[in-house]
């Protein structure tokens, strides 16, 4: 599938506008803290959510709202997760109702999300003010403002747009995401909102999204903590003009390919922007007995605190990688494992047949001092492969999370 990058973020697809502003949830007036995405027509909608048993009130409301597979708007605040609050669902519903009133749509057509501190009551006064003002700011150029408004400890704005072709029609997809800490998804990232103008049935859209999430967002880890507010949603306006996609086929595969491009990009952005991180880690694992095993093994490597710490210190320690493979729970022959560390500075093989090798320590140091490192693992169990993304573990991660709330 030919897919090209374009500008515009969530506003690149036909029918969508967005906005972001500071409403007062966050004390820092320089930081935007509420975002809105709106479509001029009713959209097919789908979402996947955290599997954490402690989940945010916005997820309860969003599940209910888009149970019919339709939506027209997203409202999201940062600075407060609206999770573990006695009045959380009531306030998430208020966010939905206020957004519906401000936009002249049904409350059941609103996707609600919140991110930030857990266990603190959400002050609705600034939220109500923001929701009232945001419709005045909606524009085709508002995607970046919306992307900024959903950030918490993120240091980089995360947005992307791509274009492909279906039935001879140009079809566009856009997305914004946030995620830096509390990242060990079991469905998606902390928050990711995708828009598209493809014409696709809601159930088919949900199937495509769920399949792509398994190979992208679910393959990242910053710190091993699965967030309470994880959600990735997608709205499809249908304005591209292609024949409706309601089953497997060429059109469905094109949608999946575009969603995968977005998911992979966002996964790498989130992993590389992990709290306190200085390096993006990619584990490329091959030779596993099946895909499921390959995924577990590769994610075990990038989730290991000791692997992360070794990468921070530029220590080419193959023992950390072997250890992480060993406790993954997967059955394999340790004597059939080989490991390389690679970056733009070069490649160094550190393990063969499950045993450490002598190598050029100076070259290894250069390789691991780069900002993007590939941990290449070759098993001897079969032909399956998988890729997972993570980051190094630094002093700053502890500092950021030690005083996160205060």
Residue identified by tokens 């692997």 is 307
Q: Which of 284, 282, 280 is nearest to 379 (CA)?
A: 284
Angstrom distance (rounded) from CA 36 to CA 146: 7
Is 153 catalytic? The answer is no
Same domain (yes/no): 229, 329? no
Are residues 19 and 35 in contact, defined by beta-carbon separation less than 8 angstroms?
yes
Domain count, the chain: 2
Same domain (yes/no): 108, 204? yes
Same domain (yes/no): 115, 247? yes
pLDDT, position 189? 53
Q: Which helix (H) or strand (E) holds 252?
A: helix 250-272
Q: Which of 372, 389, 392 is nearest to 298 (CA)?
A: 389
- Given 272, 307, 329, which residue is the final one in a domain? 272
Same domain (yes/no): 355, 251? no
Each as own residue / partner, the long-range contacts of residues 289-293 (CB below 8 Å, 24 or more positions apart, any chain) are 289/332, 289/379, 289/381, 289/382, 289/384, 290/382, 290/384, 291/384, 291/386, 293/330, 293/332, 293/381, 293/384
H-only helix segments in 122-201: 124-137, 143-149
Same domain (yes/no): 129, 155? yes
Same domain (yes/no): 244, 289? no
pLDDT, position 178? 95
pLDDT, position 347? 98
Q: Classify each residue of 108-129 as buried b or exposed e, where b means 16 or more C-beta atoms within 10 Å of its C-beta.
A: bbbbbbbbbebeeebebebbee
Same domain (yes/no): 108, 208? yes
- Given 214, 240, 272, which residue is the final one in a domain? 272
Q: Which domain does 134 fall in, by range?
A: 4-272
Give pLDDT tens digits for 228-283.
888 999 999 999 999 999 999 999 999 999 999 999 999 999 999 988 999 999 99
pLDDT, position 33? 98
Same domain (yes/no): 232, 320? no
Angstrom distance (rounded) from CA 302 to CA 324: 9
- Given 272, 292, 307, which residue is the final one in a domain? 272
- Catalytic site residue from 17, 62, 83, 189: 189
Same domain (yes/no): 253, 386? no
Helix (H, G, I), strand (E, B) or coil at 177: strand
Give pLDDT tens digits for 179-236.
987 778 765 557 999 999 999 999 999 999 999 999 999 999 888 877 888 899 999 9
Same domain (yes/no): 265, 307? no
Q: Indicate which CATH number applies to the domain containing 328.
A: 3.10.20.340
Same domain (yes/no): 180, 290? no
Same domain (yes/no): 123, 47? yes
Task: Transcribe 4-24 into DSSP letters.
Answer: EE-S-GGGSSTTEEEEEE--S
The pLDDT tens digits along the chain (406 residues) read 699 999 999 999 999 999 999 999 999 999 999 999 999 999 999 999 998 899 999 999 999 999 999 999 999 999 999 999 999 999 999 999 999 999 999 999 999 999 999 999 999 999 999 999 999 999 999 999 999 999 998 999 999 999 999 999 999 999 999 998 777 876 555 799 999 999 999 999 999 999 999 999 999 988 887 788 889 999 999 999 999 999 999 999 999 999 999 999 999 999 999 889 999 999 999 999 999 999 999 999 999 999 999 999 999 999 999 999 999 999 999 999 999 999 999 999 999 999 999 999 999 999 999 999 999 999 999 999 999 999 999 999 888 888 777 6
Q: Which of 185, 179, 145 is nearest to 10 (CA)?
A: 145
pLDDT, position 181? 79
- Cα dihedral across residues 57, 59, 64, 65: positive or negative: positive
Q: Indicate which CATH number applies to the domain containing 114.
A: 3.60.70.12
């Amino acid at each position: 599938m030919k897919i090209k990058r374009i500008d515009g973020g969530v506003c690149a697809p036909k029918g969508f506008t967005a906005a972001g502003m500071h409403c007062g949830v966050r004390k820092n007036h320089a930081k935007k803290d509420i975002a809105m995405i709106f479509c001029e027509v009713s959209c097919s909608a789908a979402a996947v959510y955290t599997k954490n048993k402690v989940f945010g009130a916005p997820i309860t409301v969003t599940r209910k709202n888009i149970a019919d597979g339709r939506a027209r708007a997203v409202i999201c605040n940062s600075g407060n997760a609206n999770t573990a609050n006695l009045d959380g669902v009531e306030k998430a519903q208020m966010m939905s109702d206020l957004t519906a009133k401000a936009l002249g749509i049904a409350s059941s057509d609103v996707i609600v999300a919140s991110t930030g501190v857990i266990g603190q009551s959400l002050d609705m006064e600034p939220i109500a003010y923001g929701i009232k003002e945001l419709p005045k700011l909606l524009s085709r150029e508002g995607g970046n403002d919306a992307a900024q408004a959903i950030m918490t400890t993120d240091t980089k704005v995360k947005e992307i747009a791509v274009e492909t072709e279906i039935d001879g029609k140009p079809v566009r997809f856009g997305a914004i995401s946030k995620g830096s800490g509390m990242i060990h998804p079991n469905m998606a990232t902390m928050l990711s909102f995708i828009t598209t103008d493809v014409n696709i049935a809601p159930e088919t859209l949900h199937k495509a999204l769920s399949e792509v999430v398994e190979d992208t967002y679910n393959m990242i880890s910053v710190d091993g903590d699965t967030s309470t507010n994880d959600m990735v949603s997608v709205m499809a306006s249908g304005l591209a003009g292609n024949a409706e996609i309601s089953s497997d086929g060429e059109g469905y595969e094109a949608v999946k390919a575009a969603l995968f491009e977005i998911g992979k990009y966002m996964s790498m952005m989130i992993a590389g922007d992990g709290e306190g991180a200085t390096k993006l880690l990619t584990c490329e694992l091959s030779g596993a007995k099946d895909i499921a095993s390959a995924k577990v093994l590769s994610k075990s490597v990038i989730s290991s605190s000791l692997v992360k710490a070794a990468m921070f210190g530029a220590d080419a320690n193959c023992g950390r990688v072997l250890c992480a493979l060993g406790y993954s729970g997967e059955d394999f022959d340790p004597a059939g494992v080989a490991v390389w560390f690679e970056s733009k500075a070069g490649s160094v093989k550190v393990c063969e047949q499950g045993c450490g090798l002598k190598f050029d320590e100076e070259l290894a140091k250069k390789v691991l001092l780069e900002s993007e490192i590939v941990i290449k693992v070759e098993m001897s169990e079969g032909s399956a492969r998988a890729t997972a993304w993570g980051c190094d573990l630094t002093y700053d991660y502890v500092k950021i999370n030690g005083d996160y709330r205060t």
